[in-house]
Amino acid sequence: MLGLMQKKQLLISSILTHAAAHHGEQEIVSNTIEGGMHRYTYADAEKRIMQLANALVRLGVKLGDRVGTLAWNGYRHFEIYYATSGIGSICHTINPRLFPEQVAYIVNHAADQYIFIDLNLYPLVEALGAHLKTVKGVVVMTDKAHMPDTAKLSATIPVHCYETLIADEPETIAWPDFDENTASSLCYTSGTTGNPKGVLYSHRSTLLHAYATHMTDSSPLGAADCVLPVVPMFHVNAWGVPYSALMSGTKIVFPGIQMDGGSLTKMMNDEKVTCSLGVPTIWLGLLQHLRESGQRLETVKRFLIGGAACPLAIIEGFGKEYDISVVHGWGMTELSPVGTINAPKAGMEKMSADEKYRHQLKQGRALFGYEMKVIDDDGNALPHDGKSFGRLMSRGYWVVSEYFNDDENPDGILDDDNWFDTGDVATIDERGYMQITDRTKDVIKSGGEWIGSIDLENVALSHPAVAQAAVIGIPHPKWDERPLLIVVKKPGAEVTREDLLSFYDGKIAKWMVPDDVAFVDEIPLGATGKILKTKLREQFADYKLPTA
């Protein structure tokens, strides 16, 4: 027997309709590429989104067509999110920090029909024009007064001005109704081997993910909140913020390209931001700015940090010095992206402050709708004891089932029980809190034992002279591999190899302490702010440890 309830598809257009109807006065504020702040309301945004949707239909964009974006966090990018999915096409966000060859590969692999691009990124598309095989047109996200010289690209691909394109379109549209499993957006991940892999989200998975990240023990947003997503809109849909914020009527502040500590501080204080989300490298810079300037964040209550393991120095720094709660989360492109959030449970209130901060290093508990387990090399599930670590497996309502147009995995990417191997090594403790100890490819195998690089990096980052730290495995004739600590010092700070190695005393087992320290001017970071250990392994390929 079926329930006697109304059958309504879970569609992204319904989020916009709800937001405009019930929170039409709420603001969306953007730091623009052209300069200055742009602000309008949810109701204004709905009208412009409908204009854009009508323009896309006029250009011939159909159900299932991919529309690419090369853009930062701003109101026009936000409009593309809703206009594309609203008419049943697919919003394909592309990371502009990738190498041009990677951008061309991704655009061609996705078979993008149109590319929307921010003004300062126009030279990238202009240079790639001849290599974009499926693109029918490029739309520069600006007004007529700021349009660049498009003569060169226009010789091969039509170029449009965003504001001119939508200016004469109707401000209303009847959003089509279709199956909630229809694809809504496409993101490519660089976290796998080989070419980037496309992860194709559905309307259903996107709405369920937005609902789950709304819960009190996740990253809740309310109508009285103001959220500033530092996480880019090209990075897994800004972790779902453009959807979850509109569900609850939250004010949104888009920072554009101004990500330095001073700019973020000003925006957060001017706009009364209560919550912000981003990767650790951003928060390290903000923390350093606050300490050096003496400024404070007047209204911020919490940061959600993900994308890489969060150092204890960030958690303690914001918590002890600025009374800002740092919520550690974990996910990946294949998970839409959020899988776990580190929120406290009853009974943990008796922990000391230091115990709570250390516990926050864990990536957290599974949200409802997401399942996880850790297994050994034989596929056996490992106990939740906080000590047994193995491969982290995932499945759930918003977990990938296969990659888009995937020729590299003919047998699929799931096991017989639909579990997806994340490529992470992790433990799960008695309370259900998961902690990433390393990526499978980064774990250090020493004398038959595994050493997770993340713990070693966190210890180093808590040293007052260390700005950045990374640990990689170096070949060793006796132990197979031993850890090498690679460090960038803080400006003006002095610290020696011996100082850092002795700093590990009492913090980890002696056999895990790095064998050596290498000081460098910079550590290579990827397009999303993660440390590129592949580059470090290349850089130190011929390094000989003093213990070897």
Closest residue by Cα to residue 392 from 417, 366, 422: 422
Place of tokens 């803080």: 490
Partners of residue 265 on adjacent β-strands = none
Q: Pick the catalytic residue: 164, 356, 450, 535? A: 450
- Whether 320 is catalytic is no
What's the DSSP call for residue 370? E
Q: Pick the catalytic residue: 17, 41, 150, 189? A: 189
The CA-atom distances, in angstroms, between 4 and each of 27, 41, 179 are 38, 37, 19
- Whether 445 is catalytic is yes
CA–CA distance, 488 with 486 (Å, rounded to integer): 7
Residue type, 361: L
Cβ(315)–Cβ(339) below 8 Å: no
The CA-atom distances, in angstroms, between 463 and each of 178, 256, 501, 504, 522 are 55, 32, 11, 10, 17
- Whether 334 is catalytic is yes
- Whether 93 is catalytic is no
The CA-atom distances, in angstroms, between 181 and each of 10, 200, 206 are 8, 11, 10
Q: Pick the catalytic residue: 46, 334, 457, 481? A: 334
Per-residue burial over 217-256, b if 16 or more Cβ lie within 10 Å, else e, is ebbbbeeebbbbbbbbbbbbbbbbbbbbbbbbbbbbbbbb
Closest residue by Cα to residue 332 from 475, 501, 203, 209: 209
Give the Cβ contact number of residue 29 at 10 Å.
20
The Cβ-side half-sphere exposure at 323, using a 13 Å CA radius, reads 4
Dihedral angle over CA of 68, 71, 74, 80, nearest 10 = -10
Cβ(425)–Cβ(437) below 8 Å: yes
Give the Cβ contact number of residue 505 at 10 Å.
9
Cβ(518)–Cβ(471) below 8 Å: no
CA–CA distance, 526 with 509 (Å, rounded to integer): 31
DSSP line for 35-80: SSEEEEEHHHHHHHHHHHHHHHHHTT--TT-EEEEE--BSHHHHHH
386: left (phi over 0), alpha (psi -120 to 50) or beta: left
Q: Pick the catalytic residue: 144, 441, 445, 544? A: 445
Cβ(389)–Cβ(426) below 8 Å: yes
Partners of residue 69 on adjacent β-strands = 93, 116
Phi, psi for residue 457 in degrees, rounded to 5: -65, -40
Terminal C-alpha separation, the chain: 70
Active site residues: 189, 334, 445, 450
